[in-house]
Structure 1
Amino acid sequence: MERVAEANAEFYQAIENGDIDLMQRVWAREDQAPDLVCVNPGWPLLRGRAEIMRAWSLVMANVPYIQYVLTETHIGVGTEVAMVTCEENVLTADEDTPGFIANGQVVTTNLFISTEQGWRLWSHHASPVLLDEEER
């Protein structure tokens, strides 16, 4: 379970640090996991390693600052597949707005597959949580 938690943490570190090389190491290769998929809030479904890496490159090039505070993290580990569910509490900043912008909460499922190189991301699915007026 610890190795899965580390792989999950590396995924978020790659985004926060704008590290595309780490992002490439985090994701499985297509010969290791069929049909890699990534769903980010507001984006169309991304399918295949090339499309996923291209999208993360765009995110990293266009978001000056992003930080994830993960809560409600649960990890389930099978023989060859592991699942991490969590709430992403996202903070961002841009060059035009001083301070931080709280972008809200996202629920996420990350599926990992066991490879010779360790646990690698197979699927990332993130969906926004719609808060009612009192919660905002």
Structure 2
Amino acid sequence: MTAHGTTLSFNGLSSIVKELNVLPHSFINSFQKLHHVSFPSCTPNKLVWNRSFGRGDQICLFHGPFLKLQMGRFMGTLRVKSEDSEGTLNSKSIALDEETLEEELQNAIAEENYAEAALIRDTLKNLQKDSKAAVFGANSRFYESFRTGDLAVMQTLWAKRDEACCVHPGLKGITGYDDIIESWNFVWANYEFPLEIRLEDIKVHAKGNAGFVTCMEFVKTNGGRWGGQFVTNVFEKIDGQWFICIHHASPVDL
């Protein structure tokens, strides 16, 4: 790989560099942790960069659909813009949300740019896989709190919204964060922990900032029998974190 002025050559291909999908390795790591996303593996390369990045920075290069050099078109990658005349990086424009990608996908299809559309579609699939994994993890934390009767953890898992709703088996819906948390304390009052909980037929769905899980939930208390419920748990992504906003458990005869 070689760099010549404003032109970057890679494996014999060159492009005028207006926006570079070339980022410091440390920035990629911190972005992934903050936004709970994963990217294709990237190789840190020692490059001397005179402008946007510091001299001798480790630069991380994305491969495949993530290595796209272009002039103003978003291609489903991270974009970093340098707007300072001194060459200092002072604005990070990060666009990896599904809504933007879907818009770009439709634009690419409309323009019959099917190669670009395929790249964006692959990126969308990867993001959706990451979202489904995150929703699955949030659902697992919910059931771990349920199993151990940990009210303090349960408080951190629910969205603090008036619209939040919890339907315990055989009861009417309870709305509002405070009443929902109080209901869990009431439901657990006569339980001995830990409970035995088994989940079957788990299905996870996620798109954008919304996700939901359906499953069969089997719960057994100490000295009691197994009880079965069909459950729908709905999650909302708020400030980068998934919170449960609806729990609906309907009793099922075993």
CA RMSD, 1 decimal = 1.4
The aligned residue for residue 202 of structure 2 is 73
- Rounded to whole Å, the distance in 1 between the matches of 2:168 and 2:226 is 14
Whether 1:29 aligns to 2:160 is yes
- Rounded to whole Å, the distance in 1 between the matches of 2:218 and 2:182 is 24
Aligned-pair distance for 1:117?
4.8
Structure 1 residues 7-62: Cα deviation after superposition (integer angstroms, max 9, x where no partner)? 101111111111111101110111xxx51000011222111111100011122332
- Rounded to whole Å, the distance in 2 between the matches of 1:110 and 1:62 is 24
Structure (1 or 2) with the greater helix fraction: 2
Higher gyration radius (CA) = 2
**Identical-residue share of aligned pairs (%):** 33
Aligned-pair distance for 1:67?
2.0
Instruction: Return the letter of the residue paired with 2:242.
Output: W
Q: Which of 50, 53, 75 does residue 181 from structure 2 map onto? A: 53
Instruction: Return the letter of the residue paired with 1:116.
Output: D
Aligned length: 122
- Rounded to whole Å, the distance in 2 between the matches of 1:102 and 1:90 is 8
- Rounded to whole Å, the distance in 2 between the matches of 1:117 and 1:102 is 39
Aligned-pair distance for 1:104?
2.4
The aligned residue for residue 236 of structure 2 is 113
Work out which structure has the larger RCO, using CA pairs closer than 8 Å and 6 or more positions apart in sequence: 1
Whether 1:42 aligns to 2:173 is no
Q: Which of 117, 126, 131 does residue 249 from structure 2 map onto? A: 126
Whether 1:8 aligns to 2:131 is no
- Relative to the length of structure 2, the TM-score reads 0.46
- Rounded to whole Å, the distance in 2 between the matches of 1:47 and 1:109 is 16
Where 2:188 maps in the other structure, the secondary structure is helix
Structure 1: stretches of 5+ with no match in the other structure: 94-99, 132-136
